[in-house]
Structure 1
Amino acid sequence: MMADSTVPTSDPLPVQQRNAASDLRKMRRIITEDYSWSLAIIPPLSDLCLQQIVRNFDHNPILEKLLPKHRSKVLERLSTSLPLPVTANLISNEDYWRRCCTERWPTCDISHYGFSWKRLFFERHLENLIEHFIPDLTDAGLICNTAELSKNYIKRLEIQQLLPPVRVEMMKEDEADDISDSGSDAAGDLPSMDHFDLNLIADSLCDLEEVHLVYGVKGCGMNFEWNLFRFTDRDCTLLANALKTFKKLKVFRLHRSKVDDDKVRVLIRSLLDHPCLVHLDLSHNQISDRGVRAIAKLLNQSQLRILNLCNNNICPHGAQAIAHALSKNNTLQIVNLRLNHIGDEGGQALCNALLQNTSLERLHIGSNELSEPTASFLAQVLSQNTSLKNINISCNRIGVDGGKQLLEGMTENKTMLEFDLRLTDVGQENEFYINQVLRRNHERTRAQAQQKQVYTSGLDW
């Protein structure tokens, strides 16, 4: 008999399965006792080196010698909590300082800091240290060292509070003068300073351009005491000395600090020969006519452009002193005398000065007990003065007759763009026609600006 050709072979597995089984036998299996074993690719040696540099950066800061691509990787991984002595003068990368700012403060607007994240960080950091400084309790050395590190990056300091010494019972200034020379116990209780002394950091901040100060406690709540809001004679003397050091200072603001006539005269004396000061803000203090006479003297000897004396105790004689200075001044552009007591006598003196002044652009004399006589003089100013663009006489008793006189002066005016008459009772009709004149002046100003732009573009050709 012939053999049956359909007899099956000895291997019952299909061909594909036999091939897969043979491949599995050829693979090498590795069983390790290291449970952290990973099939991930080992990072390049350069990355391992960069990781080591980041870990040891505070002890061995290597940055400038790296290639640009490696330097950027290190800056991305650096911690924002590195010591300032290490990072201050070594790292200029804005992205790093942006991370430092955004991780520390929820709101950051670099437009107020020259569009520099590094400047924002150092200014806010130093401000925070000063605002939480407590005399004879906090170490001033940290502030001095920080100011020295950041001296190239700080242009402005906005101090919203200055804390007094922590004492059980604050000693009055007149009691301090009566302390005997025999080394009494009371003498030992005197603090070394009443508030933070800017002279400690003045030499490090020679490029400072703006200083904003408040000698008081922010958010004291139920712990309120009048002693928390006290600008002492010693504070005044120290601050005056510091102002002499800030030769590049352009803006000085000292508000809500109970500055009186004696203290303002000491401060003004240190500013008489200041080379750069253009903005002086002493609003919300206790300055009266005697202190204003010193400020008027400053107007005659400085290049001030902005003067803010809002919410003080200025009366007619003080307004007359400012008016006398205005009649000779040719640099001042903005004057704010809101919330004072200059009355019609002071208002008329200011108006007479504005008939001679050719630089002032904005005047705020709201809430000053003015009435119709001042409106009569102001109407003459409106018809003759060609520099004023903004006047605010709100919250005064001008009356309808005074409003008619103002309207008569405005009909000849071509430069006024804003005129605030709220709560003056000048009458709706007078307000309406005055607004019509203002609208006409706006249109004229806009047309002149467009014409000037066309002329300038023609010169470019």
Structure 2
Amino acid sequence: MRRIIAEDPDWSLVTVPGLSSLCLQRIVQSFEEKPIYEALTPPQRDAVEERLSPSLPLRLTAKLIGDGAYWKRCCERRWTLCDVSLYGRSWKRMFLERHLENVIEHFIPDVTEPSAVLELAPLCEDYVKRLDVSQLLPPVGEPRKEDEDSGDEERDGPSMDHFDFGLLLHLLPDLEELHVAYRVNRCGMNFERSMFEMTDRDCESLGKALESHGTLKLLRLHQSRVDDRKCRMLVKYLLDHPSLKELDLSHNLIGDEGARAIGKLLGRGQLEALRVHDNDVRGPGGRAVAHALSGNPALLSLNLRLNRLGDEGGEAIGKALMGNDTLRHLHLGANEMTRRTALALSEVLVQNTSLRSLNLSCNKLGVDGGKALEDAMSHNSSLTQCDVRLTEVDESSLAFINRAVERNRASSAD
């Protein structure tokens, strides 16, 4: 009897691939030279996507391969944490947004070619809805001085201080959120103050880029040392913005003059949420915001915590709320307020039915302020959150306020 011993002991006719499988394998191997994708059936596309290398050029895959397994593998290969729920459950959107953010964050003025961004924008335009830029690198040379006169000396300096968003934003027609911080991450011993601030030239270029962007709904410009002058400059470009609904200027250096400019923006009645916490807004600035708030028909949330409004600003806001039936959430924590502000807001709580949450924590309201709020909450049926921790309020008043809030929360849930 003749016997044949195969080189592979596991070989079997059953494992011989079919012609269609061999064809798909060949398509995968030659995909970069001759991409064949649209002519395939959905099952065949899935098979090709599972085998394609995540290292393929983006210029080839961005417009050709739809959302699915291929982009999931690209994301998981590049980043450890991949929460697709933050991107509308779209793996392709996650990859393109984070890739574009990375290019911007490592863009060095006058060193990186603008084409690195300009060539990428058309590939991403249909998927980028949010950009979260956590750092912006300054030029390699000496930074441009703010008070430098225009002329030959200016031309000798860098052409820009940080990445110019005017190059990009008009190429992203679906962008709805922009989060930017003018700072350098993990600079180590190379620390320089210029690494952690937005210049006037940056502010002007960003403002011009935002002015005509018709889909942007949220702007967050934080930890960038934005002072009064830069705040006024930015607001000038945002006054007639067609779509902006949320503005976050937290963790900056904005004072009363900047707050007046913000008040002017509030007066246009387009913002629904404003966050200016951790700045240097004092009483006059608080009055300016309050004046705009009294006639504002749109604002739903206002966060002014960690400023220095004092009772001057607190009382002004309380007076403004007597005629405002729109605001839902108000945060005035850590603002050097006392019983005078508590008395003003207690009058608001008696008659206002629109406010849902109020935070007065870390102020010195005292026993009398707590009693006033306690009396007000006995007449209020709409407030479902009231934080008066660390305010020197009497324990009995605090307990009563908490019970009243729980009662309102239970009745609103029914």
* TM category, shorter: over 0.9
Q: Deviations along 1:202-225, whole A, 9 cap, x unmatched? A: 221121100000011112222221
| Residue 177 (structure 1) aligned with residue 149 (structure 2) | yes
Distance 1:316 1:39 in 2: 84
Matched residue of 1:158: which SS? strand
Matched residue of 1:173: which SS? coil
Q: Return the offset for 1:189.
A: 4.4
Distance 2:123 2:327 in 1: 41
Matched residue of 1:43: which SS? coil
Q: Which residue of 2 aligns with 1:10?
A: none
Letter in 2 for 1:384: Q
Q: Return the offset for 1:96.
A: 1.3
Distance 1:232 1:29, change over 3 A: closer
Letter in 1 for 2:212: T
Distance 1:173 1:280 in 2: 26
Runs of 4+ in 1 over 4 A off after TM superposition: 28-31, 35-40, 186-189
Where in structure 2 are the equivalents of 1:277-296 lying within 5 Å?
277-296=244-263
Letter in 2 for 1:446: A
Aligned to 2:345, which of 353, 378, 403?
Answer: 378
Is 2:336–2:363's contact at 8 Å kept on the other side of the alignment? yes
Distance 2:412 2:70 in 1: 45
Is 1:338–1:364's contact at 8 Å kept on the other side of the alignment? yes
TM-score, normalized by length of structure 1? Answer: 0.86
Q: Which residue of 1 aligns with 2:357?
A: 390
Q: Which residue of 1 aligns with 2:103?
A: 129
Segments of 5+ residues of structure 1 without an aligned counterpart are: 1-23, 448-461
Segments of 5+ residues of structure 2 without an aligned counterpart are: none
Aligned to 2:403, which of 436, 448, 456?
Answer: 436
Q: Which residue of 2 aligns with 1:345?
A: 312
Distance 1:334 1:342 in 2: 17
Distance 2:5 2:254 in 1: 88
Q: Which residue of 2 aligns with 1:113?
A: 87
Q: Return the offset for 1:40.
A: 4.5
Letter in 1 for 2:377: M
Q: Which residue of 2 aligns with 1:245?
A: 212
**% same residue:** 51
Aligned to 1:150, which of 124, 131, 135?
Answer: 124
In the comparison of the two structures, how many residue pairs are matched? 412
Letter in 1 for 2:130: R
Q: Return the offset for 1:177.
A: 1.9
Q: Return the offset for 1:436.
A: 1.1
Distance 2:205 2:150 in 1: 21
Matched residue of 2:44: which SS? helix
Aligned to 1:58, which of 21, 32, 43?
Answer: 32
Structure number with greater Rg is 1
Distance 2:29 2:269 in 1: 54
Q: Which residue of 2 aligns with 1:228?
A: 195
Q: Return the offset for 1:302.
A: 3.7
Q: Deviations along 1:249-303, whole A, 9 cap, x unmatched? A: 0000101111111111111111111111110000111111111111111111142
Letter in 2 for 1:120: M
TM-score, normalized by length of structure 2? Answer: 0.95
Aligned to 2:270, which of 276, 283, 303?
Answer: 303
| Residue 368 (structure 1) aligned with residue 341 (structure 2) | no
Where in structure 2 are the equivalents of 1:21-32 lying within 5 Å?
24=1, 27=2
Q: Which residue of 2 aligns with 1:313?
A: 280
Q: Return the offset for 1:178.
A: 6.7
Letter in 1 for 2:207: A
Q: Which residue of 2 aligns with 1:407?
A: 374
Q: Which residue of 1 aligns with 2:62?
A: 88
Is 1:214–1:254's contact at 8 Å kept on the other side of the alignment? yes
Q: Deviations along 1:121-149, whole A, 9 cap, x unmatched? A: 10000001101111111222111111111
Q: Return the offset for 1:401.
A: 1.2
**Aligned residues: CA RMSD:** 1.8
Matched residue of 2:267: which SS? helix
